[in-house]
A and B are shown apart, each in its own frame.
Chain A
Amino acid sequence: MTDKASSPAFFTARHYFVLAVLVALFVALIGRAAYLQVFNQKFLLGEGSQRQLRTIETAAYRGTIFDRAGNPLAISTPVDSIWVNPKIILQDTQGLKKLTKSLGLNFRKTFNRLKQRVNREFVFIKRRIKPELAQQAVADVKGAYLQREYNRFYPAGEVVAHVVGFTDIDNKGREGLELIYQDSLKARPGKRKILRNRKGEVVEEIAQVVAAEPGQDLTTSIDMRLQYIAYRSLASSIKKYHAKSGSAVLLDAHSGEVLAMVNLPSYNPNKPRNNVAQRRRNRAITDIFEPGSTIKPFTLAAAIDKGLYSAQSKINTTPGYMRVTGYPVRDFRNYGVLDLAGILRKSSNVGAAKIALSMTAQDLWKAFSSYGFGEPTGVSFPAASSGYLSFFGDWHPIDQATLAFGYGLSVSVLQLARGFSVFANAGKLLPLSLLKRSQSPQGVQVMKAKTARLVLKMLEQVVGPGGTAKKAAIKGYRVAGKTGTVKKSTAGGYLDDTYRAVFAGIAPASNPRLVMAVMIDEPDKDIGYYGGTVAAPVFREVMTQALRLLNVSPDKPQQISTLAMRSREEGL
């Protein structure tokens, strides 16, 4: 370029000058930094914290759980939690005194607790109280702040606790639908930038970084009216018979929706910590038991479907017992010659066993399996059980015979109700649901419609005169159902004096709308233990109310007055 710039003398002088200036500046900079760091630290830290730019969380609420009519079963309401900065609040004991007083806390205890945590900047002193209360409490108290949280409240409490479940303090589902649908119910908190002053007060909200997203609502298939009635009448029966526990399930026959599902003992989901895990189980779904005689209609249906028997078939059950490869099968007494309806009406074990033994093991197994026994119900639920049906290849004749009257397989109350819905639905088996459905599912034809109708007719006789379930009869309506009184088993064999009382039924029989299964565990033998005595009245009570509330018209005209109407114009 130019000659001047490249001359060494010129370069050296300037070079050193520039270098000296730079070094001087650098030293000055370091000196200043050191001065600020060492001598002015306190002042600057204070200044800094006066103008903190922080990103904080924006709370969002969890989705609400509704019953089918829109009543809340679980709802999140805003609450405030109070937290303090110990460094600040401990300098002002008057303020702390005022705060503890308005919150009903012990001043000394709180003081000591904060003293131990003096190095922290964030300590909760009271969680989840009403927003108005919280705002009053922290007003004019330095170093005490609010944090918005959401509290989960269960208005129906223990009545529907097993179905809905509950959440923990961090709003995560722990049981029931709250757990299963955690992903869609949960809220996604947002983030926002704020400017805080030294007192921690928000000077300015600057920007939204991420928008908060509330959780999605969930509408269940439960009808709270029916749920209350079912709970009340199950509870009264359990109390009356000093039973250990019980479950009941009410289904809509055509949509496969669960209208009511109750279990006892129950718990208060608003205070889940006070309860033992044992009470929290949704027995209707998780617990399985041998269904006993309630299985007999399925045995008959399987044989009728195969064309082995018809409504007119007669079976000789004399002398009231039989031996199958050495093992005895007994009836209550000798019922003589019975038709198929008679076997159900009298609940004859011998009759049912004879029918089962006339089929091949494979056919019987296939039929039972297709009715949903040993299969999932379609309801997704924590710890849901599919029941138990052993493989036919392992059966001995006695296994096949006892299967006919409900021993050697296990079902949940929900499965039993689902099985009965096949009779109510002209042979179709539906996947069940705890969520409200907008339309009925297709279902699978597992039994000929003709067979289903025939067995339904026979089941009406069980509730009629001479049947075992007279206490399930409802005035004005035709009812079909089957009782079961099951000996409880342990690992060692069957127990003598402990029973389960079971009833499953359908109403109205002319055009089935509702299916219900009731199971009561260990009623007191001295008061009553038959399915027809203990479980059937629960069915009657709930069904009577349910038919009325759902506006199902009576189908048994001889018990009510009928007025024939000539035409639309004339009448009404």
Chain B
Amino acid sequence: MEHRYWLMLLIILVTGSSMAVIYVKHESRILFSELRVNQKRQDELRIQWSRLLIQKSTLITQANVESVARKKLDMVLPENIQIVTLVEYD
């Protein structure tokens, strides 16, 4: 008699675990497709990021900064005679 209970229990466990497998498999597919969506998004963002990074490094090249400073902002390099150095003493 005892065997029957064991069998019942095992059948329930097996059915349960097989359902769990189905569920987990399903879940993993959903998560994976989500992962792929996010990876594609990451790719797009990376394209944008690298574009911006390159743009930034072009804008801050010495030559560019210098020409903006000189032409747009009317700045000049001070002559040495115009530079005043402050020396601290007690």
B89 and A560 contact, CB distance less than 8 A: no
Question: Nearest residue in B to A202 (C-beta to C-beta)?
Answer: B36
Q: How far is the CB of A67 from chain B (nearest CB, A)?
A: 9
Q: A77-B47, A78-B47 are in contact. Are A572 and B86 (CB under 8 A)?
A: yes
Question: Nearest residue in B to A212 (C-beta to C-beta)?
Answer: B39
Q: Mark A201-212, 1 if CB is under 8 A from B, else 0.
A: 000111110000
Our pick among B36, B58, B62, B87 for the contact of A205 (Cβ within 8 Å) is B36
B63 and A205 contact, CB distance less than 8 A: no
Q: Which of B1-9, B10-18, B49-57, B67-75 contacts A (4 or more CB under 8 A)?
A: B49-57
Give the distance in Å from the alpha carbon of A155 to the alpha carbon of B57 in the complex.
8
Q: A61-B46, A206-B32 are in contact. Are A228 and B85 (CB under 8 A)?
A: no
Q: Mark B32-45, 1 if CB is under 8 A from A, else 0.
A: 11011001000100
Question: Nearest residue in B to A190 (C-beta to C-beta)?
Answer: B39
Q: How far is the CB of B34 from chain A (nearest CB, A)?
A: 10
Interface size class of A (residues with CB under 8 A): 35 or more
Question: Nearest residue in B to A155 (C-beta to C-beta)?
Answer: B54
Q: How far is the CB of A556 from chain B (nearest CB, A)?
A: 9
Chain B interface SS verdict (over half): helix
Give the distance in Å from the alpha carbon of A484 to the alpha carbon of B4 in the complex.
101
Q: Mark A539-572, 1 if CB is under 8 A from B, else 0.
A: 0000001000000011001011111111110011
Asked if A320 lies at the interface with its beta carbon under 8 angstroms from chain B, I say no
Q: A61-B46, A78-B46, A228-B61 are in contact. Are A565 and B32 (CB under 8 A)?
A: no
Give the distance in Å from the alpha carbon of A557 to the alpha carbon of B54 in the complex.
41
Question: Nearest residue in A to B33 (C-beta to C-beta)?
Answer: A205
B57 and A563 contact, CB distance less than 8 A: no
Give the distance in Å from the alpha carbon of A557 to the alpha carbon of B81 in the complex.
11
Give the distance in Å from the alpha carbon of A435 to the alpha carbon of B27 in the complex.
45
Q: Mark A16-40, 1 if CB is under 8 A from B, else 0.
A: 0000000000000000000000000
Interface size class of B (residues with CB under 8 A): 20 to 34
B81 and A72 contact, CB distance less than 8 A: no
Residues of B within 8 A of A155 (CB): 54, 57-58
Residues of B within 8 A of A553 (CB): 85
Residues of A within 8 A of B88 (CB): 565, 567-568, 571
Residues of B within 8 A of A58 (CB): 39
Give the distance in Å from the alpha carbon of A207 to the alpha carbon of B90 in the complex.
73
Residues of A within 8 A of B83 (CB): 476, 554, 560-561
Our pick among A71, A205, A571 for the contact of B86 (Cβ within 8 Å) is A571
Q: How far is the CB of B51 from chain A (nearest CB, A)?
A: 8
Question: Nearest residue in B to A232 (C-beta to C-beta)?
Answer: B63
Asked if A225 lies at the interface with its beta carbon under 8 angstroms from chain B, I say yes
Q: How far is the CB of B15 from chain A (nearest CB, A)?
A: 24
A208 and B85 contact, CB distance less than 8 A: no
Q: How far is the CB of B55 from chain A (nearest CB, A)?
A: 10
B32 and A208 contact, CB distance less than 8 A: yes
Question: Nearest residue in B to A59 (C-beta to C-beta)?
Answer: B43
Residues of A within 8 A of B53 (CB): 71-72, 75
Nearest 5 CB-CB pairings of A with B: A71-B57, A565-B86, A77-B50, A561-B84, A155-B54
List 11 extra interface pairs beyond A78-B43, A228-B63, CB under 8 A: A75-B50, A155-B58, A156-B57, A205-B33, A206-B29, A224-B57, A225-B62, A228-B61, A563-B87, A564-B87, A565-B87
Complex A-B: 20 CB contacts under 8 Å: A72-B57, A75-B50, A78-B43, A78-B46, A155-B58, A204-B33, A205-B33, A205-B36, A228-B62, A228-B63, A229-B62, A475-B80, A553-B85, A554-B85, A559-B80, A564-B86, A564-B87, A565-B87, A566-B89, A571-B88
